[in-house]
Every structure is written in structure tokens, then in C-alpha cells.
Amino acid sequence: MENNMLNQHPADIAEQLTELDVKNRNIAFYSLSNDDKVEVFSYFEPDIQYEIVKSLTDEDLAEVLNNLDPDDRTELFENFPDQLIKHSINLLTPEERAIALNLIGYNEDSIARLMTPNYIQVKEHYTVKQVLTHIKKYGKKAETLTYIFIVDGKNRLIDDLKIGEILLADEDTKVEDLIDHNFVSIKTTTPLEEALEVFDKYDRSAMPIVTENDVLVGIVTFDDILDRMKMRDTEDIQKFGGMEELDVSYTKTPITELIKKRAGWLVILFIGEMFTASAMSYYDQEIEKAVVLALFVPLIISSGGNSGSQAASLIIRAMALGELKLKDWWYVMKKEFASGLILGAILGFVGFIRILIWQKLGIYSYGEYWLYVALTVALSLIVIVLWGTLSGSLVPFILRKIGFDPATASSPFVATLVDVSGLIIYFTIAAILLSGKLL
């Protein structure tokens, strides 16, 4: 195994070690050089990292933790029990301990939790030659050399420069002659969701993080943002499926935890569907008089649920991408009203034609008043699809307004809501159109 890992990328080595059992994984990890240990460790999943940490001696753990990127180390500490965090921090050098405590002190949902203090900063009076000398001296530990950050005497950010601008300038050129004071930064307290939007808007590989007084305290690189986006999207997809998000990957989650994450929502949705049965029983006399009405219940209800799920998917994704804000709810309602009406009319027309063809070809007889049955189905589809579309698009706004994650407006949730209300709409329309005929 050791020979096979020579000259491989740390991510590939981590993948190979992950496939081993705990004992062999720990032995293989111990066989790596100190530098390789640090590189490979950062690519492990949190549960694997925790297992390895428990197997390391204090000396080896100190080596890994002190050389781990601060942002990766902060993420690692988030998965540690309090006692292990305390023990691990005490293994750090005074300099690294100060950095770790500073990062852990920020709100868990803030962009500051992802930042690293390892970057290159210079003063505006530096010459290009001095900047290059500075890079050679401190660049090895820097998270990225793509950008050089310019600060004043109080460490306040005043600009940043791409490394290419430095390399192409004459050695005697001063930094102040290259900067234009036009830069983008993110405050330490900015929520992760908002910070993701800033990265997306400005298409940056690294972004400076500053305090409320514009003091530069760290940077966040795009690879860390990508990791967090992956976690966020995974959580949203799991929530949208009608369950709580998993704490670790699906393959690492025990069956008892899977049941726990899924059972709560299933019970809630089941109780909701019980109202559907109650609504059906309320109209049992109408169904007894016109059994033909029951034939179209699954068709009509599923159409409303499908339209609601479609609308919810579109709105939740638009919210996640920052395309829609709370203030846009009326714009969405107007747009979805038109969409729902047209979609309902299309399905209503298809439903009407279906009954017409079956009746005329003798495939099935809907009785003497088949035309009224067809009109009932068509009109019900129009109204229920419209209602489903409006419900699916409005629920995410309501959830965000009251402080919940819009992703919890899952397909099952919206479908259950439309099922119950759709039955009421269907039989109400039937009672109006078929009164004195079938009913």
C-alpha cells in the first residue's frame, strides 16, 4: 500500500485509506510522512478524521493540527466533543492556538468560520521588489497567491491586487501606483448564504474577510465555498424529499439514524393524508350516487400535487440562488397564477377529450350525463392545478417569513396539502354541475 501511494495526490490517498478497515487505515496513515499526514488528513470525511484523531498519539496529533489549514481545523473542531476540543487546542502552538480560538469564537453560520489567516498582505508604500521578497519569505504557508492584499498602518484593507499585476510591473514601481481602491470584501458576521451570493456575483477565487471597522482578519477561498455549497444543496435536497438532513453521508449513516430522520416527517404526512380520507368519507353519499366521480379522484388529486411540487421546486431553487427575495412574493403570485391557469386548462382539455373519446368509442360508459362528468373533471383540473401551483409557490415564502428553511416545503408536504383541499374543490364543483342529475 505504501509504495502504491507514492507520488499520488493526497485526495487519492485519502480515498484509498477510506476503503480500508479502521486498523489497517490507521497503520497506513502512520506510515505517511508528517507532511503527507497533514495533506491527506484534510481530505478525509469528518467521521474518518475523528477516528484517526482518537488513534493518534499527542505528538502526532499536535503535528497534524498545527500544520492543518485553520479553516479545515475549525471545521474539524466543529465535529469534536467539547473535551476533545479542549485537549486538541492545548496541543497547538501559542500562535496557532490564538488563531483557532479566534475562529471558533465566530457565529457558526458566519463566513468567518471558513476563513484562514494565511494570506499575503503588504503596505502600499512597498515596491514591487519588496512585495516579491515578502512573497518568497511568507508565501509557502499562504492559502493562495492569486491575490495580494494591501493594508494601511491600522491593518485596514484598502485594496487587493492580482499576482499577475505584480509580476508584470517594474521592480521599482510602488504598490500605491498600482491600486485603485476598488475592491470587494465580506464582513466577518455575514451569514454563509449571503457570502455565497457575493462569491457567485463577483466570480472570485478568494475573498478578503474584514471586521466592521474594515480590518483585514482573513480570507476565504473558493474551494471552501464549494464544500459548503455541496453541504447546503445536499441538506436542501434531503429536506425537499420530506426528511431531516443527514449528519454524515448516506453510506455512513446507520439504519437506526435513517429511520429516525425519516419517521418524523412520514408520521406528519400520514396524519395529513388522514384528512384526505376524512374528506372522502364526508362525500360518501355523493360517491354512492355517482360512483363515476371516484374514478377520477387519483387523476385529479395527483395533478394538483404534481403542479404544487413543480412550483415549490422552482421557487426554492430560485431562493437558494438569490434570484428571489421575500419582497418578490407578489411578482411570483402573478406569474404562477398565469402559469397555473394555463397548465390547468391544458390538463382540463386533455381530461375532457379523454372522457369524450372513451364515451364515443364505447370503451367505457359514463352514463347519460357523461358531458357533465367531463365538464366537472375539466373544470376541477383547472381549479385544482391552479390552487396547487399557487400553494407550492407561496409556501416557501411563508416558511422563510417565519424563519424556517424553505426547503422544508417538500414535495410530500405540498402534495398532502393539495390532496385534502383538492378533494373539497372537486366534490364542490361536482355538486354544483351535477346537482339534480347524478347527485
Please write the tens of the pLDDT for every residue from 394-414: 888 888 888 776 766 556 677
Domain boundary among 48, 77, 105: 105
Q: What is the percent of the chain with per-residue pLDDT over 70, rounded to a whole number?
A: 81
Q: How many domains does the chain have?
A: 3
Residues 66, 92: one domain? yes
Q: Are residues 277 and 391 in the same domain?
A: yes
Examine the domain organization and report whether 43 and 134 are in the same domain: no
pLDDT along the chain (439 residues), means of 10: 65 88 85 83 84 85 86 80 75 83 78 85 93 91 90 91 93 93 90 82 88 88 74 57 50 64 57 58 60 80 83 81 85 92 92 90 82 90 92 86 70 74 84 69
Task: Give the range of the structural domain holding residue 261, as residue numbers without chain letter.
Answer: 255-434
**Residue 357 sits in the same domain as residue 264:** yes
Q: What is the pTM of this model?
A: 0.53
CA–CA separation, 300 vs 303, rounded Å? 5
Element (H, E) at 57: none
Q: Burial of 406 by CB count in 10 Å (0-12 exposed, 13-18 middle, 19+ buried)?
A: buried
Q: Cβ of 28: how many Cβ atoms within 10 Å?
A: 17
By the 8 A CB rule, do 184 and 207 touch?
yes
